[in-house]
Amino acid sequence: MKKKNPNIYKIALRLISSTNHFGTSLNFSKLPHSLPKSPHFQKLLPKMSSASSANIPSPAKVIDSHLHVWASPQEAAEKYPYFPGQEPTLAGHADFLFECMEEAGVDGALIVQPINHKFDHSYVTSILKKYPSKFSGCCLANPADDRSGIEQLEDLVTKDGYCAVRFNPYLWPSGQKMTNEVGKALFSKAGELGIPVGFMCMKGLNLHLSEIEELCTEYPSTPVLIDHMGFCKPPINDDESLAFSNLLKLSRFPQVHVKFSALFRISREAFPHQDLSSPFSQIVSSFGANRIMWGSDFPFVVSECGYKAANEAVLLIAKQANLSASGLNWIMGGTIMKLFQGHWLSS
């Protein structure tokens, strides 16, 4: 296996911590030759040398809060079939993910059940059981009218070790909302099981805002994750401004956390997605860094900017937004490890 290289995030925090521990400025001419040579990293060095020593934590683990895996074509043919009509066009098998994580220096991840296998969780479950310290699982809620999804959710959590569940509103029966009887039963059951519910609002946060607010109000003990920043792009019109404002207002619910994930989906710019600096600053201001977590959206990100670059983009945006090292620690791993206590401890 290829030796894991420390990513830019960890190097940056080590440099900050070292500088402040000794109370002196680092001599950058004597830094190890193995440091990244990219222009993005070189621009960070002056800022590191003058960083404040206040509350600088030790470098935390880097945990990817949002990615997917699915069977390779051979695995699908032999054991883990795709759901009809959802055959993937990208490679997304676990071995490929391992390669990407090793290169980027990512320690662990939350695997979100992909639509390619729909409600058949057997492939993701096999990966969770094979690498229990590396991966944790977010299952996919089945909102069938017969309520079979409620028992399935409980089994996936209690028997297979899943620690979160995703609500995809577009899987609800036509004309029904996530606040129907089954939706509320699933949301309530998640709270009873102590697992967060992630919301995927691909067609716009405003379409589902009232449902999320109703569920949060009625079941305040159920933790919530807003995937991909609610699919809110940097606003350029009234509708987008309203959606982003509504996202920020969700901070009034203490149970709500935001995934700063799939940056290529919410940015209008290519890597390093620096048009996200202002929205990022605003969500940090509203929610606090300890309620925000980074995620890549592997494998879709690979063809956009690459997995390693997805990790690096967060550091660059955080630098542009003047986020503290402590705040960066929360977003890159601290938040998700606090929410999912007991996971990734030995990764």
Confidence grade of residue 17 (pLDDT, cut at 50, 70, 90): very low
Give me the mean pLDDT over the 194-202 stretch: 98
Q: What is the pLDDT confidence band of residue 201, given thresholds at 50, 70 and 90?
A: very high
pLDDT at 316: 96
Residue 346 is predicted with a pLDDT of 77
60 pLDDT above the threshold of 80: no
Identify the band that residue 8 occupies on the pLDDT scale cut at 50, 70 and 90: low
Residue % of the chain over a pLDDT of 90: 82
Indicate the range of 25-39, 210-224, 284-298 predicted with least confidence. 25-39
Q: Are 105 and 10 in contact (CB under 8 A)?
A: yes
- Give the pLDDT confidence score for residue 6 in this predicted structure: 52
130 has a pLDDT exceeding 90: yes
In the predicted model, what is the mean pLDDT of residues 159-175? 97
Task: Place 10 in a pLDDT band, splitting at 50, 70 and 90.
Answer: low
pLDDT score at 347: 63
Six-digit token string for 337: 């490890």
Return the pLDDT at 7.
54
Q: What is the pLDDT of residues 227-267, one digit of tens each?
A: 999 999 999 999 999 999 999 999 999 999 999 999 999 99
**What contacts 24+ positions apart, CB below 8 Å, involve 45-53?**
45/15, 47/319, 48/12, 48/15, 48/16, 48/19, 49/19, 49/25, 50/25, 51/16, 51/19, 51/20, 51/325, 52/20, 52/324, 53/19, 53/20, 53/21, 53/23
pLDDT digits (tens, 9 = 90+) for 118-127: 999 999 999 9
Q: Where are the domains of the chain?
A: 61-339
What pLDDT was estimated at residue 178? 98
The pLDDT assigned to 199 comes to: 98
Strands 197-199 and 63-67: unpaired
What pLDDT does residue 22 have?
A: 28
The answer to whether the Cα torsion of 188, 189, 191, 192 is positive or negative is positive
pLDDT above 70 covers a percentage of the chain that reads 83
224-226 β-sheet, strand order: 63-67, 108-112, 135-140, 164-167, 197-199, 224-226, 256-261, 292-295
* CATH superfamily for domain 61-339: Metal-dependent hydrolases (3.20.20.140)
pLDDT of residue 48: 35
- Reported as a single tens digit per residue, the pLDDT across 257-285 is 999 999 999 999 999 999 999 999 999 99
Mean pLDDT for the chain? 87
Where is pLDDT greater, at 211 or 28?
A: 211
* Mean pLDDT of the 100-117 span: 97
pLDDT at 34 over 80: no
